[in-house]
Amino acid sequence: MRLLLVEDHVPLADELMSTLNRQGYAVDWLADGRDAIYQGASEPYDLIVLDLGLPGIPGLDVLQKWRADGLATPVLILTARGSWAERIEGLKAGADDYLTKPFHPEELQLRIQALLRRVRGLANQPTLQAAGLHLDEGRQCVSREGEEIQLTSAEFRLLRYFMLHPEQILSKSHLAEHLYDGESERDSNVIEVHVNHLRRKLGRAVVETRRGQGYRFGGAGG
């Protein structure tokens, strides 16, 4: 999953980038509201973490511009402002969730997980479940019928994306756009390698190849 972090406090941004990368997210970072308006609308982010107290253009104005232009990407607001009035203002502008500084990194992780599930219509799942698999996002492993299967970090990122988009046909280029940040080289052949690794661990039927189209997750496995 690819996230945009818009935060002008560099030490906090560095800490969040490190934490989110460990959790398997590809993260792009911006510190100015003017840059965020353009990049948030032009890149295929799965979720945006937005600070309100930004230079250039305040975060609230950035969010209002995104929503006015039809951007539906879920937005989680980070702010040091704790009054009810400011929280309500942010939610009215189109925020999907709100987290007041200071916060515990695990709370941010859980809120991001919940938002990503909610936007995919999976809000009722305590853990990601699809095709008979249960994904433990905290431990980055998967289980089936009580058997735990270990994953590499790359396999985990790919499987999480598949499980958030079951039964959908996903091209290699689409997967690369959502699994790598803007600075990483994107090689569709690497996606194919990781798909084959997942098939060896989970069964070939779990990920179906659609010739000329991409991959479809959600088979019976085996």
pLDDT of the residue at 121: 85
222 residues of the chain, pLDDT tens digit each: 999 999 999 999 999 999 999 999 999 999 999 999 999 999 999 999 999 889 999 999 999 999 999 999 999 999 876 667 777 888 899 999 999 888 898 899 999 999 999 988 887 777 899 989 999 999 999 999 989 999 999 999 999 999 999 999 999 999 999 999 988 877 778 999 999 999 999 999 999 999 989 999 985 443
3-state SS, one letter per residue, for the chain: CEEEEECCCHHHHHHHHHHHHHCCCEEEEECCHHHHHHHHHHCCCCEEEEECCCCCCCHHHHHHHHHHCCCCCCEEEEECCCCHHHHHHHHHCCCCEEEECCCCHHHHHHHHHHHHHHHCCCCCCCCEEECCEEEECCCCEEEECCEEEECCHHHHHHHHHHHHCCCCEECHHHHHHHHCCCCCCCCHHHHHHHHHHHHHHHCHHHEEEECCCEEEECCCCC
Q: What is the pLDDT of residue 51?
A: 93
Quick one: pLDDT at residue 45?
97
What per-residue confidence (pLDDT) applies to 184? 80
pLDDT recorded at residue 219: 57
pLDDT at 222: 37
